[in-house]
Amino acid sequence: MTIDDIKILITPGESRTLELKKTTGELKDGMHSACAFLNTEGGWLIFGISPVSLKIVGQKVSDNTQQEIAQALAGLEPAVDVHVEYVDVPILPAIKS
């Protein structure tokens, strides 16, 4: 998946198959959505996007962040096989005012 794929995916906003979270600080709520997706037709859970403005804000992802995500997914029962992907967000040049 590329940043352009994400832009296309989020264009219509959140839906029954798309949940957006600004940061992994909302990981617990995100896992509730992941469970709902797993119990229905599936869906996308994307961190680093403001759900209201649909602005791609990104997030610095450390090893600790990746471990927290892995632990949260490992806590789902029954065990699930999901695809986690990290996409680089290009740094936009600052706009001079």
Domain boundary assignment for the chain: 3-74
Q: State the pLDDT at residue 93.
A: 59
| Tokens 């839906």 belong to residue | 15
What's the average model confidence in pLDDT over 49-60? 94
What's the average model confidence in pLDDT over 64-90? 92
Residues 27, 85: Cα–Cα separation, whole Å: 15
Residues 94, 97: Cα–Cα separation, whole Å: 9
| Residue 95 scores a pLDDT above 60 | no
Q: State the pLDDT at residue 9.
A: 96
Q: What is the DSSP letter of 43?
A: -
What's the average model confidence in pLDDT over 6-23? 96
Q: State the pLDDT at residue 48.
A: 96
| Tokens 């065990």 belong to residue | 79
| pTM of the predicted structure, to 2 decimals | 0.88
